[in-house]
Every structure is written in C-alpha cells, then in structure tokens.
C-alpha cells in the first residue's frame, strides 16, 4: 500500500494535465468541474492557489499541493478527518481499505438509492485518480474537498 505522500503525488500528477509540475487555476477548475462542484468554483480555485502558492507564480507545485492535502493536526481538522474516516468506512464495508463498486452498491441500497454494479463502477471512475478501479481514502478525501 502506498504511503500518503505517494498517494498525494499520484493525485498531483493526475491534476497536472500539462505535466509541467504545477497545478494552474485552470487545471484545478477542470478537476472541480469533473466532480460536479460548479457552485464552489466561483473564485475558489484562484483563492486556494493564491493562499498556498509558496513561490508566488500563481501555480501549485508538489509541496504546495501536499500542504493543501495534509491535515494540520488541530482539533477541528482532526474532527473532520475522523468524520471522513467514519464516512469512508460506511462505504468501504469489505475490509479492503477501498470503496469497491460492490460496496458502493450495497451502501447506496441501504439509503434507498438502487444502482447497478456497472453504474457504481462509472461513479467510482469519476474519482479514481490512479485508475485501479477502487476509491482509496485519499481519493475519497479529495472528492469531499
């Protein structure tokens, strides 16, 4: 299993569409639009980059991106992380450490949303940044940003 830094690097490289080692506001916006958070887009992408851009070039390098993803250890952040882990655990259910199409189908059925395994696979593919067919906690966390 990859460690957090390796997972963040995978996510970073996925977002860095042009491969220049930096995430631009446009690349961040494209990712946000892909996960259908359009209402959040209003200046949020540029504000995030501006607040985390360590060298002032208007782009996030890998270390800036890791700063976005890491939890600072404060009580509020720890509570958010705990809540995310609990939510992830509800969908994970199989003890694999990943959300699979079958576990997603099972959880959606419990909340009254009937989906086929193929539909669940399609949903997972939207957020599966490394293409392994499942959602890791780090992918889930990014999805929930």
Mind listing the pLDDT tens digit for each residue in 132-142?
999 998 888 87
Statement to judge: residues 102 and 65 lie in one domain: no
Note the pTM of the prediction, 2 decimals: 0.52
Mind listing the pLDDT tens digit for each residue in 80-110?
778 888 888 888 877 888 999 999 999 888 8
Instruction: Determine the straight-line distance between the first and last CA of the chain, rounded to whole angstroms.
Output: 23
103 secondary structure, DSSP code: H
Least confident among 67-71, 82-86, 90-94, 126-130: 67-71
Statement to judge: residues 79 and 138 lie in one domain: yes
Statement to judge: residues 10 and 42 lie in one domain: yes
Range of the domain at 134: 75-143
The pLDDT of residue 37 is 46
3-state secondary structure of 136: coil
Among 52, 69, 86, the domain boundary falls at 69
- Taking all residues of the chain, what is their mean pLDDT, rounded to a whole number? 77
Statement to judge: residues 82 and 136 lie in one domain: yes
Nearest Cα to Cα of residue 10 among 98, 53, 69: 69
Statement to judge: residues 37 and 13 lie in one domain: yes
Going by pLDDT thresholds of 50, 70 and 90, the confidence category of residue 2 is: very low
Statement to judge: residues 41 and 59 lie in one domain: yes
Statement to judge: residues 56 and 81 lie in one domain: no
Domain with residue 89: its CATH number is: 1.10.238.10
């Amino acid at each position: 299993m990859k460690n957090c830094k390796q997972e963040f690097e995978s996510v970073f490289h996925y977002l860095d569409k042009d491969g220049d080692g930096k995430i631009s506001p446009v690349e961040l916006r494209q990712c946000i639009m892909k996960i259908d958070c359009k209402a959040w887009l209003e200046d949020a992408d540029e504000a995030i980059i501006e607040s985390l851009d360590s060298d002032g070039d208007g782009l996030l390098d890998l270390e800036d991106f890791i700063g976005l993803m890491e939890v600072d250890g404060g009580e509020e952040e720890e509570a958010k992380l705990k809540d995310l882990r609990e939510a992830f655990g509800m969908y994970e259910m199989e003890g694999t450490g990943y959300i699979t199409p079958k576990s997603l189908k099972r959880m959606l059925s419990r909340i009254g949303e009937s989906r086929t395994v193929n539909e669940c696979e399609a949903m997972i593919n939207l957020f599966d940044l490394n293409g392994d067919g499942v959602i890791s906690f780090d992918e889930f966390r990014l999805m929930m940003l």
